[in-house]
Amino acid sequence: MAETDIAIKVEDVTKRFRLNQNRAAYLKEAIIHKTDTSQWREFWALKGVSLDIHEGSMHGIIGHNGSGKSTLLRLMANIHRPTTGRIVANGRISALLELGTGFHPQLTGRENIYLNASILGISPREIGRRVDDIIDFAGIGEFIDSPVRIYSSGMKVRLGFSVAVHVDPEILLLDEVIAVGDEHFKRRCFDHVYSLRKKGVTIVLVTHSLGQVQSMCDRATWLESGELKMDGDAIEVARAYLQQVNSAESGDQEHGEADLEMQGRGERRGTGEVTIEAVTFVNAHNRPTPFVNSGRPLVARIRYKAAEPIKNPTFGLRIFTDAGTLVSAPNSRRARFEAGTLDGEGEILYRMPRIHLTPGTYHVTAGVFDENNLHVYDERQREFELRVQPGEAPDTEGFVDMGGEWAKARKKLGDDQRDD
């Protein structure tokens, strides 16, 4: 690949941080110009990483906590400099590194927009034309003229994201930031990131969400303890990473079924006449499983508890991707399934002959409603997790494996035309 097609070139970069630095050591080092390593505890955040970020691509960086992902991003953003090696960036970089990136707490939101713009080298006149778009997108409203220190963390993220994407970056660095904020804003962020991609903006995304990597990125880098473990096609890297995580998890499988119920976090609403106690996924052998292989059968067991007799309640599941897109919403009423009158505890099953989802983590909402699907007895939003592992079928991008087969038609197109 030609040099010009590379947006960021990372060449054998190492980064050492000093911990518990003895203050006197700085002075000594400054005076004698020699590094005396006995004076501090050091931490190598990156140990010789080389990679290319291709121009116009969306590049995911994955890895466990402390693997050096964020450090790498900071080096790309020129905030810290590499201890050895070098990073060459080709284009204007805009970075959104953490909550409220680059905001001065005493300044108002509007002043911060101008401050950030000038940091990125954009003239006040230029930003003046975009300032309304930025405020609009962030949805800050009248707070825009209040100091940023009174903003909620959600507002800071929204404003930060809005500024970062509206300053016409050629390279956009995002650190996990899209993971916060409400659903509505998250969706708009993804839409905007998508439109930037179409414009040819290079995007580097540090994330824990393999779903995001698989569904959005072209390429990915997997870092582990500061070393490059794998770099290449996003789907393949995410798959390899997932396999490693899963094999580590399989080892833990004996540790009780409580884990398998995967009681997560999330919002819960409803009046509680019937409650969802748990959702368990079981495999073809009727055994609870923490993950399913794509293409295999799966049964969702919804355990309920009715405090009083309830006639024909409706059960529903909603399956979301990591990025928050609704993939499917099976509903017992629409399927004309009648549960009968429920009283006490029991289980409702939803049998899926084949899981058509592509590998990744999905979040499942389970709910129970009245006969007309209007009144909410209990709804546990995205509390359950469904992990899909690669199956035998070749991976596809997107969320759904169509399960089709490829074939060649017998008749040639030219023959058709001659018939006319």
Partner 1 sequence: MLTATQELWDYRALVLNLTNREIKSQFKMTFLGNLWALINPTLTLAVYSLVFGYFLSFHRNTPEAWASGLQSFPLYLFCALMMWWLFNRVAIGATGAFTSMGSLLRKVYFPPSAPIVAHGLAQVRQTMLEGLVCMLVLCLVGNTPWTFILWPLLIPLMLAFGMGMGMLLALANAYYKDVGYLTTILNMLLFYVTPIIYSVDAVGETEFMGIPVKSLMQLNPLTQFVEASRELLYLGVVPGLWRMVALVGISATSLVVGWALFVKYSKDVSEVV
Residues that bind partner 1 (CB under 8 A): 17-18, 23, 26-27, 30, 77-81, 95, 97-98, 101-104, 106-107, 111, 114-116, 118-119, 121-124
Q: Is the CB of 93 or the CB of 317 nearer to partner 1? A: 93
Name which of 113 and 205 has its Cβ closer to partner 1: 113
DSSP sequence for 238-298:
HHHHHHHHHHHHHTTTTS-TTGGG------EES--SEEEEEEEEE-TTS-B-SEEETTS-E
- When the beta carbons of 30 and 409 are compared against partner 1, the nearer one is 30
Q: Nearest approach, Cβ of 169 to partner 1 (angstroms)?
A: 12
H helix or E strand, kind and range, residue 124: helix 124-138
Backbone angles phi, psi at 312, to 5 degrees: 45, 55
Minimum distance from CB of 35 to partner 1 (Å)? 12
Angle made by CA atoms 76, 81, 85, in degrees to the nearest 5: 85
Q: Please check whether residue 146 is in contact with residue 114, taking contact to mean a CB–CB distance below 8 angstroms.
A: no
Adjacent-strand bridge partners of 298:
352
CB of 119 to partner 1, least distance (A): 5
- In whole angstroms, the minimum distance from the beta carbon of 84 to partner 1 comes to 14
Are the C-beta atoms of residues 232 and 239 closer than 8 Å to each other?
no
CB nearer partner 1, residue 103 or residue 399: 103
Token duo for residue 346: 């029991």
Measured from the CB atom, the residue of 118 and 153 that comes closer to partner 1 is 118
Closest among 122, 201, 106 to 163, alpha carbons compared: 122
In this complex, which beta carbon is closest to partner 1, that of residue 98 or of residue 218?
98
Question: Least separation, in Å, of the C-beta of 346 and partner 1?
Answer: 53
C-beta of 401: minimal distance to partner 1 in Å? 41
DSSP assignment, residue 163? H
- Look at residue 93 and give its three-state secondary structure: strand
